[in-house]
A and B are shown apart, each in its own frame.
Chain A
Amino acid sequence: MEKNKNIPNFKTPKNYFEDFEERLFSKMAEENFPKSTGFKLPKQYFENLDVRILKEVSLSEKPKKVIPLFPRKYFGYAAAIAASLVIGFTLFNTKVEISNLDSLQLAAIDTYIEEGNLNLDLYDVTSYIENEDIANIDLDAKYFTDSSLKEYLFENIDTETLIDE
């Protein structure tokens, strides 16, 4: 095709013509999509939403009232039983296993977090970390060997996101 002789001094963004078809066909396909979702709302849903949210905030911040598991009158009996148990154990059981954080299995902690029991997300975590803390983290490259990095990436990388972006 013969090129235009007089080309105006306009410029186009980089790769404008390369992905033009893609954008055009995408736009044409979009024309056939429904223009709305079809979702409905309960009547007056947005009214007083701020009041409900503020109530939630204050509810979750107030210390919760503790209901005693056992009424006070049983404390005396409970104390007596506990004391005799302690004495009994001290006298007859010399092998006492010490339970500490080290004895807690890592797998158990993993499961606890994976099941969603540790209700922390990125925002909660970052609110506890100061900028200096991050600056002071000693990320020594010697801890990350090429093979361990490769292994980590193979196991954890989200290939779908990579392909999409």
Chain B
Amino acid sequence: MVEEQELVIALKTEAEKESAFRELVSQYKERLYWQIRNMVLDHDDADDVLQNTFIKVFRNIDSFKGESKLHTWMYRIAANESITFLNKKARRNNVSIDNVKNNAVRKLETDVYFEGDQLQLEFQKAIATLPEKQRLIFTMKYFEDHTFEELSEILETSVGGLKSSYHIAVKKITEFIKNHNETL
């Protein structure tokens, strides 16, 4: 695996840019995909946002100053792109962002790319009730196992703030599932 610093240099060198970019995509495509998919839920939407994320990275690599790590920067772009995507979808359909999220969760019931059981579906419904940033924090921590320190760099928020937001999210999800599924 090519080291991150070497990759940045290669990405900024015209002759090596394309091959370095292929390497970058191969290293990060899965991690970024799952981060995005957890936010937008639908596979086709996740594919769109993932492509936009990499296109942004490709186009803006020259403005990347190296003040943060490359992967931190990419995760941040993916997070912003996911939220921007949901907002744009809401505006395009002239509905609220909650409406967009509820529709996405409802669609999961018939989605061929979702094979979760009833509890997993309830879990997704519960996550969808969280505000955008809290949802991002929860999914990145719970499913992708980022540390609070990493999240603090990616989302430019204090560790304390992230911890508190995460615990509130857990509380809200627990409440939601309890109210909807007495067996838990």
Instruction: Give chain A's interface residues, CB within 8 Å of chain B.
Output: 19, 22-23, 26, 29-30, 32-34, 36-42, 45-46, 49-50, 52-54, 56-57, 60, 114-116, 121-123, 126-127, 160-161, 164-165
Interface string of B96-110 (1 = CB under 8 A from A): 000000000000000
Kindly state whether residue B12 has any CB partner on chain A within 8 Å: no
Q: Tell me whether A53 and B119 are in contact (CB under 8 A).
A: no
Kindly state whether residue B179 has any CB partner on chain A within 8 Å: no
- The residue in chain B whose Cβ has the minimal distance to the Cβ of A129 is B63
Q: How large is the interface on B (under 10, 10 to 19, 20 to 34, 35 or more residues)?
A: 35 or more
A19 CA / B161 CA spacing, docked (Å): 13
A33 CA / B92 CA spacing, docked (Å): 34
A112 CA / B140 CA spacing, docked (Å): 34
Q: Tell me whether A37 and B120 are in contact (CB under 8 A).
A: yes
- The residue in chain A whose Cβ has the minimal distance to the Cβ of B162 is A165
Interface of B is mostly: helix
Q: Tell me whether A29 and B174 are in contact (CB under 8 A).
A: yes
Q: Tell me whether A161 and B133 are in contact (CB under 8 A).
A: yes
Interface of A is mostly: helix
With contacts A38-B120, A42-B43 taken as known, whether A50 is within 8 angstroms of B22 at the C-beta atoms is yes
A54 CA / B38 CA spacing, docked (Å): 24
Q: Tell me whether A34 and B123 are in contact (CB under 8 A).
A: yes
A60 CA / B50 CA spacing, docked (Å): 16
A29 CA / B166 CA spacing, docked (Å): 12
Q: Which of A32, A53, A164 contacts B168 (CB 8 A)?
A: A164
